[in-house]
Chain A
Amino acid sequence: SQTIHQWPATLVQPVGSPLSLECTVEGTSNPNLYWYRQAAGRGLQLLFYSVGIGQISSEVPQNLSASRPQDRQFILSSKKLLLSDSGFYLCAWSENTANYGYTFGSGTRLTVV
Chain B
Amino acid sequence: GEDVEQSLFLSVREGDSSVINCTYTDSSSTYLYWYKQEPGAGLQLLTYIFSNMDMKQDQRLTVLLNKKDKHLSLRIADTQTGDSAIYFCAEIPGGSYIPTFGRGTSLIVHP
- Chain A interface (Cβ within 8 Å of chain B)? 6, 32, 34, 41-44, 46, 49, 90, 92, 94, 96-107, 109
Complex Cα spacing A42 to B92, Å: 19
Contacting residues, chain B, for A46 (C-beta < 8 A): 98
Contacting residues, chain B, for A96 (C-beta < 8 A): 97
In the complex the two chains form, is A94's CB within 8 Å of B41's CB?
no
Contacts A42-B86, A104-B43 known; list 14 others, CB within 8 Å: A6-B42, A34-B98, A43-B103, A43-B104, A90-B42, A99-B31, A99-B92, A101-B35, A102-B35, A103-B45, A105-B42, A106-B41, A106-B42, A107-B41
Complex Cα spacing A97 to B41, Å: 25
Once A104-B42, A104-B43, A105-B42 are accepted as A-B contacts, the answer to whether A98 and B99 lie under 8 Å apart by CB is yes
Contacting residues, chain B, for A94 (C-beta < 8 A): 97
In the complex the two chains form, is A32's CB within 8 Å of B97's CB?
yes
Complex Cα spacing A102 to B88, Å: 12
B101: interface (CB < 8 Å): yes
In the complex the two chains form, is A102's CB within 8 Å of B40's CB?
no
How far apart are B29's CB and chain A's nearest CB, in angstroms? 12
Q: Contact size class for B?
A: 20 to 34
Contacting residues, chain A, for B30 (C-beta < 8 A): 99
Partner of B44, one of A32, A44, A98, A104: A104
Contacting residues, chain A, for B35 (C-beta < 8 A): 101-102, 104
Complex Cα spacing A20 to B106, Å: 31
Contacting residues, chain B, for A42 (C-beta < 8 A): 86, 103-104, 106
Q: Which residue of A lies closest to B45 (CB)?
A: A101
How far apart are B43's CB and chain A's nearest CB, in angstroms? 4
In the complex the two chains form, is B45's CB within 8 Å of A98's CB?
no
How far apart are A109's CB and chain B's nearest CB, in angstroms? 7
Contacting residues, chain A, for B106 (C-beta < 8 A): 42
Contacting residues, chain B, for A101 (C-beta < 8 A): 31, 33, 35, 45, 48, 90, 99
Q: Which residue of B lies closest to A99 (CB)?
A: B31
Q: Which residue of A lies closest to B96 (CB)?
A: A98
Contacting residues, chain B, for A41 (C-beta < 8 A): 103
Contacting residues, chain B, for A99 (C-beta < 8 A): 30-31, 92
